[in-house]
Amino acid sequence: MPERTCIVTRQQKPDSELIRFVLAPDGAVVPDLRRKLPGRGCWVTRSHAMVAEAVKRGAFARALGAEAKVDPDLAGLVARLLRADALAALAFCRKAGLAVSGFMKVEEALEKGQVLVLLHASEAAADGKAKLNRKCAANAAVLDLFSASEMSLAFGRENVVHAALKAGGQSQKLLALAQDMAQYDSVDTKVLD
């Protein structure tokens, strides 16, 4: 795996642990989450605190070798983009037929052993979470990174509090994006091994 140097810590890390930034044609620093934008890039450790520190230090102009316009809330922008990517992946899981929502349907999928990822809305009741978590297979991931309104929007229906994803490529992608988002925000996701 290729390694890059973080412009804040000066540590070399695999590029999967870093976020790439490039200059837009107008000189603005933009995150390149998919690593496909053209031009010279620089890398920052995948952490809200590290991106904020890079902004504070003026590290982007030095690393990119050009005058750079940096949004003071660049760290917040990255967090919003990561969250949007994860929610879009959740919507694609639903469209691909890999997702179910609603307590009873999730419980049924858990009993059949078909769940790769169990999702709870962040404001879900503790007893409901606990009941579903007890039925969850040992190799399934449990995430509570999204609000009920975000999950409802991704599912295209109201009041989605619990959801489950069956195994599939899009489900794996969602899991990876959710873990990236949690790492960036320093959220402790419970992943059952």
* CATH class label, 80-191: alpha beta
Burial 50-85 (b: 16+ CB within 10 A, else e): bbbbbbeeebbbebbeeebebeeebbeebbebbbeb
The label of the residue with tokens 């990119």 reads 64
> In this predicted structure, what is the pLDDT of residue 189?
37
* CATH class label, 3-72: alpha beta
Model confidence at 115, in pLDDT bands (50, 70, 90)? very high
Give tens-digit pLDDT for 13-64.
998 899 999 999 999 999 999 999 998 899 999 999 999 999 999 999 999 9
Question: Using CA atoms, how far apart are residues 142 and 117, in angstroms rounded to an integer?
Answer: 6
User: Which residues of the chain does CATH 3.30.1230.10 include?
Assistant: 3-72
> In this predicted structure, what is the pLDDT of residue 193?
27
> In this predicted structure, what is the pLDDT of residue 191?
36
**Residue percentage of the chain with pLDDT more than 70:** 96
> In this predicted structure, what is the pLDDT of residue 192?
29
> In this predicted structure, what is the pLDDT of residue 136?
87
Give tens-digit pLDDT for 152-164.
999 999 999 999 9
- What is the per-residue DSSP string for the chain? --EEEBTTT--EEEGGGEEEEEE-TTSBEEEETTS---S-EEEEES-HHHHHHHHHHTHHHHHHTS--B--TTHHHHHHHHHHHHHHHHHHHHHHTT-EEESHHHHHHHHHTT-EEEEEE-TT--HHHHHHHHHHS-TT-EEE--S-HHHHHHHHTSS---EEEEESSHHHHHHHHHHHHHHHHHT---EE--
> In this predicted structure, what is the pLDDT of residue 186?
78
> In this predicted structure, what is the pLDDT of residue 132?
94
User: Which residues of the chain does CATH 3.30.1330.30 include?
Assistant: 80-191
Contact present, 130 and 190 (Cβ < 8 Å):
no
Q: What pTM does this model have?
A: 0.86
Mean pLDDT computed over 75-93? 95
Question: Using CA atoms, how far apart are residues 31 and 59, in angstroms rounded to an integer?
Answer: 14
Question: Using CA atoms, how far apart are residues 139 and 42, in angstroms rounded to an integer?
Answer: 36
> In this predicted structure, what is the pLDDT of residue 185?
84
Average of per-residue pLDDT values in the chain: 91
> In this predicted structure, what is the pLDDT of residue 183?
87
